[in-house]
Structure 1
C-alpha cells in the first residue's frame, strides 16, 4: 500500500474523491436509498447518537482485533459486504477488491451479480470468500452458481432475504439507470440478465430485472432446498427482528446479518444498530450475528461489536476506495478502519474484541451508566 496522505486520514476524503470521478447516475446507484431515504439516513444517525464509556488504568500496550468466524481466522472483524458490478467503479472490479481484502485479513462477500467470474475472484483472494445469493425464479441457475462457488473454494453462502422485490429507488428511476452493456453479471446466463441493461424513462434496469428474475414466493421451507445442494454454511442477510432471528436459528442457519440493505429496500425500516440488540438476544450465543448498514468508522465497528455483533460488513466506503484507486484504494479504506478500531479499543480500555460488551455503551445518549442489558432503544 502506498503512503497515506494527510487527506486520506478518514473515509470522507474517499467519498468526495469518488463522487468527483464517477458519472452522476453511477454515483446515485451506489449512494442512493429507497423512497425518501429515511432509513438510509437513520443508519448513520443511530451510530452518531451513541456514546461510549471508556475504562482507564487498563493495560492496552497490545490490542487484538482478530477473531474466528465460521471456521476462518480473520485479522479483523471488518469485512466487505456483497455489492454488485464492481467494474462500474474500476476495471479490475471484484478481483481488486478481493486482493485488498486478503491484504487486510478480512472476509469478502462477493455478490451473485459480480462482474468478474467466481474463479477469477477466488484466484485473486488470499482471505476467505463468501458468496451472496438472491433467490432466482430459475433454480437451475441458482444451483449452478452454488456448485461453482463451492468448487472455487468459497466458504459460505449468504442468502439475501429482504428483497422479494426491489425497493423504490427513486434516484435510479429518475436517471433511467441501467447497467452499461460492457459490464455484465458474468456468473449467470446472460438471458437472465438482459433486463438489467435496459433503461427507460421513470424506471431502472435494476428494478425491471428484479421483477423478472427474483422469486417472491421464497419462504423458510425453501432453505432445505439450498441445504441439500451445498455443504457450505448458510448465512441469512436482511434480518431485523427477534421473530425472524428465532426462526433462522430454528431452521439451522449458521449466521445472520442484521441488515436493511443499506437503506435500499423498505424505507422506514429500523436502522441496523437499533435492530441489533433484539436479534442478538433472540439467538443462541453460538450463532454469529453480523451487521451492515451505516458503518463508516472504526468506532462504529466497536459500537456494533459492543452491542453483540461478531463482525461488520462495509459497503459504500469500499466502493469509494475502489473508484479512487482500485485495489490500493480499497486497501487504504480497510487500513483506515482497522487503525480507527485499534485506537478505539485502546482508548476504551478494552484491548480485545472479547472485552467489548454492552457496558461500553451509554444509554440513553449521554447517560453516565449503562442499562443492565442491551435493548432496541439503544443510543436513542
Structure 2
C-alpha cells in the first residue's frame, strides 16, 4: 500500500507548530525559484533549458493542463494502492527518477546524493550515462533499485563495456536513449558557451571505463605524434595565448578526472578524455538494426527511451525490446515537438499491455502523475523537480521532493474517489489550449 498522503501532511503541519518548515518548497514554481538562487547561472541554464524557443517544454505542461480529473464521491477509498510490477519487481510506487546528467554542476556529491535520496524515499532511480560518479559507486547507495541509462556510442566496444558493467553492478534494466543521437539546439547553453562535458563534468561513467581509457590513450598518442611530426620551425603554429577562462577550464577538467589533481595538470590524459568523449559520445547513424543486436548483448530488460509514435512502439516490441519510455527529453531536443503526454495514449494502445509503458517530460506534481497513469502509463519518471531538490538540500532535498509528489498522488486519488489508478476518471479531452501555459 502507498503510504497515506496525510502522513506527510501531518509531518509538515506538526513541524510547523515548533517552527520547522519543509526543507524545500512543496510546489514546483517556488521550488524552481528557490533553487535558481543557489545554482550557478550555467547550472540553471543546463537544467531548466530546452530546445530552441522552448516551445516543446511549454507544450509538455500545456498537455497536462488540458486533462482534467473528475472527482467522484462516497466511494469509500480509505486506502489506496498504486504499487506496480515491472520486469518481475514490485515497485511500491509508480515513480522512478529520470536520468539527468551532469548533476555535479548542481551538487558536489552529485549522483551519490541522488541515490541516497531515492533510496530514502523508496523509489528506483535511472542512473545517467552522464553521471558524475561511476555506476559501481552509485549502486550500493541505490538500495530501492536502479536502472542504467545508455547513450549509444560510436564505439561498439564501449557500448558492450557499459552493458557488461551495468549487469555486474546489479542494474534492474538498461534504458537506451534514442532521442539524443546528437545534441539539440539549446540557446540557454549556447549563449553561455557552456557544455558541461567539455569541462570534464558528467563523464565519470566514461573515465572509469577500461575501453574508454584505451580510446583516451589513443587520442593522447595521436596528439603527441602530431606534435612531434609538426615540430619543425617551418610547420609549427604559434601557440595561442591562454586566456583566464581557458586556464579555469583546464583546472576544472583536471579536478574532475580520476587521479591526483597535480598529476592531472601535468598529464595530457584529462584533456584527451574530454576530446575522446566529444568524439564518441553519440551515434547519429543509430538504426533499428543496432537495436536488434541488444538481445544478444545483454541479459538485462531493455527499455527504449524517446518513443513518441505508435509505429515505433510496435517496432520496438518486434525487435525484442521489453519496455518503452514515452519522452521528448523534457523538451530539450526538438523545438515544436509533440508533448510526451499527448503521445502517451497512442503508444499505450499500440503496446496493448504487452510491455510496460513509462512516461517522462513535464511531470511536476502528484496530480500530474495521476493523470499520466490514467492515460496509460505503467509508471512515470520524475526529472527537473528532484534536481532542484538536490540543489537546495542534497540527498534530503531529493527525498523530500519525491515524498511530496507521492503524497500528492495519494491525496489526489483519495479526493477523486479512486482506490487505484484504474478508478480515476478524466474529463473528455479538451482540444483548446489553456489560457496560461506554465514554463519549465
CA-to-partner distance for each residue in 1:44-101, whole Å, 9 max, x for gaps?
A: 1111122111111111111122211122211211210011122211111111111111
Correspondence for 1:116 among 122, 125, 133:
133
CA-to-partner distance for each residue in 1:250-307, whole Å, 9 max, x for gaps?
A: 1121110110010011111100111011101111313111100111010000000000
Alpha-carbon RMSD: 2.5
Q: Which residue of 2 aligns with 1:342?
A: 410
CA-to-partner distance for each residue in 1:146-190, whole Å, 9 max, x for gaps?
A: 111110100100001112211111111110003274634112146
Q: Which residue of 1 aligns with 2:96?
A: 79
- SS of 2:306's equivalent? strand
Indicate if the aligned counterparts of 1:272 and 1:292 stay in contact, CA closer than 8 A. yes
Indicate if the aligned counterparts of 2:151 and 2:281 stay in contact, CA closer than 8 A. no
Indicate if the aligned counterparts of 1:132 and 1:159 stay in contact, CA closer than 8 A. yes
Aligned counterparts of 1:155 and 1:88: Cα–Cα separation in 2:
27
* 1:249 to partner: Cα distance: 1.5
Aligned counterparts of 2:421 and 2:78: Cα–Cα separation in 1:
15
Structure scoring higher RCO (CA < 8 A, sep ≥ 6) equals 2
Aligned counterparts of 1:223 and 1:235: Cα–Cα separation in 2:
11
Structure 2 counterparts to residues 74-153 of structure 1, below 5 A: 74-153=91-170
Range with greater deviation from structure 2 (92-101 or 231-240): 92-101
Aligned counterparts of 1:64 and 1:132: Cα–Cα separation in 2:
28
CA-to-partner distance for each residue in 1:209-268, whole Å, 9 max, x for gaps?
A: 666531111111112322212100000000011111111111121110110010011111
Aligned counterparts of 1:66 and 1:183: Cα–Cα separation in 2:
36
Question: In terms of Rg, which structure is larger?
Answer: 2
Q: In the superposition, relative to structure 1, how do residues 309 and 379 fare at CA in structure 2: closer, same or farther (>3 Å)?
A: farther
Correspondence for 1:171 among 188, 204, 209:
188
Aligned counterparts of 1:58 and 1:329: Cα–Cα separation in 2:
35
Q: TM-score, normalised by structure 2?
A: 0.76
Aligned counterparts of 1:285 and 1:244: Cα–Cα separation in 2:
16
Aligned counterparts of 2:421 and 2:152: Cα–Cα separation in 1:
34
Indicate if the aligned counterparts of 2:326 and 2:344 stay in contact, CA closer than 8 A. yes
Q: TM-score, normalised by structure 1?
A: 0.88
Range with greater deviation from structure 2 (287-296 or 51-60): 51-60
Indicate if the aligned counterparts of 1:75 and 1:104 stay in contact, CA closer than 8 A. no
Correspondence for 2:206 among 188, 200, 214:
188
Correspondence for 2:385 among 314, 317, 329:
317
Aligned counterparts of 1:160 and 1:353: Cα–Cα separation in 2:
28
Aligned counterparts of 1:291 and 1:364: Cα–Cα separation in 2:
19
Indicate if the aligned counterparts of 2:26 and 2:401 stay in contact, CA closer than 8 A. no
Indicate if the aligned counterparts of 2:303 and 2:325 stay in contact, CA closer than 8 A. yes
Q: Which residue of 2 aligns with 1:5?
A: 21
Indicate if the aligned counterparts of 1:65 and 1:77 stay in contact, CA closer than 8 A. yes
Aligned counterparts of 2:279 and 2:331: Cα–Cα separation in 1:
19
* 1:349 to partner: Cα distance: 0.8
Q: Could you say which structure has the higher helix fraction? A: 2
Range with greater deviation from structure 2 (69-78 or 343-352): 69-78
Aligned counterparts of 1:133 and 1:182: Cα–Cα separation in 2:
19
Aligned counterparts of 1:186 and 1:354: Cα–Cα separation in 2:
41
Aligned counterparts of 2:77 and 2:187: Cα–Cα separation in 1:
47
Range with greater deviation from structure 2 (97-106 or 145-154): 97-106
CA-to-partner distance for each residue in 1:320-339, whole Å, 9 max, x for gaps?
A: 00000000000010011001
Unaligned runs of 5+ in 1: 200-205, 366-376
